[in-house]
Amino acid sequence: MAHTLGEKPNIRPYIMVFVALMTLTLITVAVSYLHLPTMEAIALALLIATVKASLVACYFMHLMTERKLILWTLLLSAVFFFFVLVIPTMTAGNPITL
């Protein structure tokens, strides 16, 4: 929001986010070669991915300055998304063997 036609948007944050995304990509690849224990490796990789995704959503997708209606819509989606992700845990104790 707050962007009006004819005015040059400030592109500095986009370049900074770009540099941050590249750096985080290098870090996540480098870490994967360290062969950390499974749980640590998963936690770290997902943490880095979440930070990268948040940068894309907040800056490139302008969620930092977006209207409440859009944010509420996304919050609702996020709730359902996490609900769907939790469904597989209901099978715990009954492992699939393939």
Partner 1 sequence: MSTTVIPYTTEIRPDTGVNNVKLGIWLFLASEIMLFGSLFAGYILLRTGNPEFGAGSGALSVPMATLNTVVLITSSVTMVLAWAAAMEQNFAKFRLYMGCTVMAGAVFLVVKGFEYSAKFEHHLYPSHSTFMAIYFTFTGLHALHVIVGMGYNAYLWIPGSKMFHSNPQQFANRVEASGLFWHFVDLVWIFLFPILYLLPDAAS
Structure tokens at 80: 């359902």
The per-residue b/e assignment along 40-66, b for 16 or more CB within 10 angstroms, e otherwise, is eeeebeeebeeebeebeeebeeeeeee
Contact status: 58 vs partner 1 (CB under 8 A): no
CB of 86 to partner 1, least distance (A): 8
Structure tokens at 17: 């986010």
Binding site for partner 1 (CB under 8 A): 1, 3-9, 11, 14-15, 17-18, 21-22, 25, 28-29, 32, 35-36, 38, 41-42, 45-46, 48-49, 52-53, 56-57, 59-61, 67-70, 73-74, 76-78, 80-81, 84-85, 87-89, 91-92, 95-98
